[in-house]
């Protein structure tokens, strides 16, 4: 209400947000240019597609993690849940011989069920998210081994299963750009989640939960129920990741997924989402996942020794986030 509130013209405001959004890509663009200059093998359609594909599983998991992190929680179970859903999919399709859509639906439902469990532990039993999802991680890891009989399950009897992630619908229209379906699935999952976060009640309450859960409760909203809903949605997305990875490997590997949770969370945080909840975007998470994929791919293309790859990755993650912080400070000051 003070005259101190400046009212820039809508056009200028639009431009400013536009510039802002582009700048968020700064780290990514910087890396891409750097690697392109360093190696001629980097900037090639096939490699860009490889990078996108490499980002797809981690990207989907990171989208799931973003949802939970926005509510002020954390989800350590994403990797184990992905594996569990892949195994469920394998059991349904290969062991039980059910048709493909049922296998996919089963994987996603398994994810939702697991999300409902984590969510209930967190919202109803008040177990801290870190512990609830750490416990779920161990439980799911064990169950994946039990259910699969500690053997990988192959999808050889389900023709078309590998197409889910590795086929390319785009190729039919743009033969020179054979983007695999897995990448499309990542973008679809990200787009839908971004819409839900930005435009629906579920999204609104996700931010509200992370911002001030008590205030949300005092506003008469059934905060617990919504929180469980968000964990369930995150679980469902992990189910999609499970289908994706199973399709890509044409098998459900019951021991896969260790350490994936940290990668996913790292993508989320690099993308500017705050671990204390209340703020964050899916676009940021996507960029975060891409930054990680580009970085690792680029270092490998440059044949950097693996021990140094780790060192460089660590440094650049810190640097990328630091640059992002500086950018925000500038933006806030301007």
Partner 1 sequence: AAQDLDIALISKGFQHQFWQAVRMGADQAAEEFGVNVTFEGPDSETQVDRQIDMLAAALARNPDAIGFAALDSQAATPLLRQAQEAGIPVVAFDSGVDSDIPIATAATNNLAAAALAADKMAELIGGSGKVALVVHDQTSRTGVERRDGFVNQIEAEYPDIEIVSIQYGAGDHLQSTEITKSILQANPDLAGIFGANEGSAIGVVNGARELGRDDVAIIGYDSGQAQMTAIREGLMAGAITQNPIGIGYETVRAAVAAINGEAVEEEIDTGFYWYDADNIDDEEIQAVLYE
Partner 2 sequence: MTPLVSMRDIDKSFPGVHALKSVQFEVLPGEVHALMGENGAGKSTLMKILSGVYSKDAGVIELDGKSVNVTSPRQAQELGIGIIHQELSLMRDLNAAQNIFIGREPRSAGNFVIDEKRLNADTAKLFAAMHLKLDPKVQVESLTIAKQQMVEIAKALSHKSRVLIMDEPTAALNDAEINELFTIIRQLKAEGVGIVYISHKMDELKRIADRVTVMRDGEYVGTVPAADTPVEKIISMMVGRAISDEPPTIPDLKDAEVLLEVKNLNRGREVQDVSFSVKKGEILGFAGLMGAGRTEVARVIFGADSMQSGEIFVHGKKVSIKQPRDAVRAGIGYLSEDRKQFGLATGMDVAANIVMASVERFISPLGVLKNKEIRDTAREYIKQLTIRTPSERQETRFLSGGNQQKVVVAKWLLRDCDVLIFDEPTRGIDVGAKSEIYKLLNKLAEQGRAIIVISSELPEILRLSHRIAVMCEGRLTGILPGGDTPQEEIMRLATQRASATTTPANGRAA
Ligand X SMILES: Nc1ncnc2c1ncn2[C@@H]1O[C@H](COP(=O)(O)OP(=O)(O)OP(=O)(O)O)[C@@H](O)[C@H]1O
Residue 6 interacts with partner 1 (CB under 8 A)?
Answer: no
Residue 112 interacts with a copy of itself (CB under 8 A)?
Answer: no
Site residues for partner 1, 129-148, by CB under 8 A, read: 145
Residue pair 103/247 in contact (Cβ under 8 Å)? The answer is: no
Binding a copy of itself (rule: CB under 8 A), the pick from 102, 113, 145, 184 is 145
Residue 327 interacts with partner 2 (CB under 8 A)?
Answer: no
Site residues for ligand X, 2-41, by CB under 6 A, read: 2, 4
| CA 259/CA 223 separation, integer angstroms | 31
Residue 302 interacts with partner 1 (CB under 8 A)?
Answer: yes
Residue 60 interacts with a copy of itself (CB under 8 A)?
Answer: no
Residue 71 Cβ vs partner 2, minimum distance, rounded to whole Å: 12
Residue pair 226/209 in contact (Cβ under 8 Å)? The answer is: yes
Q: What is the CA radius of gyration of the chain?
A: 21
| CA 110/CA 146 separation, integer angstroms | 15
Contact partner at residue 201 from a copy of itself, partner 2, ligand X, none, CB < 5 to 8 Å by partner kind: partner 2
Site residues for partner 1, 44-63, by CB under 8 A, read: 44, 46-47, 50, 53-54, 57
Cα torsion 101, 106, 109, 110 to 10°: value is -150
Angle at 73 between CA 71 and CA 78, to 5 degrees: 110
Return the half-sphere exposure (C-beta side, CA atoms, 13 A cut-off) of residue 30.
14
Residue 120 interacts with partner 2 (CB under 8 A)?
Answer: no
Query: In whole angstroms, how far apart are CA 263 and each of 3, 186, 240, 259, 329?
Result: 46, 16, 17, 7, 26
Residue 3 Cβ vs partner 2, minimum distance, rounded to whole Å: 4
Residue 251 interacts with partner 1 (CB under 8 A)?
Answer: yes
Contact partner at residue 297 from partner 1, partner 2, a copy of itself, none, CB < 5 to 8 Å by partner kind: partner 1
The residues of the shown chain that bind ligand X, judged by CB under 6 A, are: 2, 4
């Amino acid at each position: 209400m003070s005259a101190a509130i400046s009212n820039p013209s809508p056009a200028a405001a639009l431009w400013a947000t536009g510039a802002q959004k582009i700048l968020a890509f700064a780290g990514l663009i910087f890396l891409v240019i750097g690697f392109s200059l360093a190696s001629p093998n980097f900037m090639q359609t096939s490699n860009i597609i490889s990078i996108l594909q490499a980002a797809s599983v981690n990207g989907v998991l990171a989208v799931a993690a973003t949802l939970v992190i926005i509510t002020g929680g954390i989800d350590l179970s994403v990797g184990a849940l992905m594996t569990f859903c892949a195994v469920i999919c394998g059991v349904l399709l290969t062991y039980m011989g059910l048709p493909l859509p049922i296998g996919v639906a089963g994987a996603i439902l398994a994810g939702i069920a697991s999300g409902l469990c984590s969510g209930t532990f967190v919202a109803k039993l008040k177990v801290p998210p870190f512990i609830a999802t750490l416990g779920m991680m161990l439980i799911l890891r064990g169950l994946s081994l039990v259910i699969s009989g500690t053997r990988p399950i192959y999808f050889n009897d389900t023709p078309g299963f590998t197409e889910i992630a590795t086929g390319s619908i785009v190729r039919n229209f743009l033969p020179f750009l054979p983007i695999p379906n897995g990448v499309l699935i990542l973008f679809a999952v990200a787009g839908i989640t971004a819409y839900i976060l930005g435009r629906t009640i579920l999204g609104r309450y996700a931010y509200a939960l992370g911002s001030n859960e008590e205030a949300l409760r005092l506003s008469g909203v059934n905060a617990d129920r919504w929180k469980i809903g968000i964990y369930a949605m995150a679980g469902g997305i992990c189910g999609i990741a499970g289908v994706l990875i199973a399709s890509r490997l044409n098998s459900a590997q019951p021991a896969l997924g260790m350490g994936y949770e940290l990668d996913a969370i790292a993508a989320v945080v690099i993308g500017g989402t705050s671990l204390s909840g209340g703020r964050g975007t899916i676009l940021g998470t996507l960029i975060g996942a891409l930054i990680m994929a580009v970085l690792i791919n680029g270092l490998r293309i440059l044949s950097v020794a693996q021990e140094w790859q780790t060192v460089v990755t660590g440094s650049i993650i810190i640097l990328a986030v630091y640059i992002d912080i500086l950018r925000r400070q500038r933006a806030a000051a301007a």
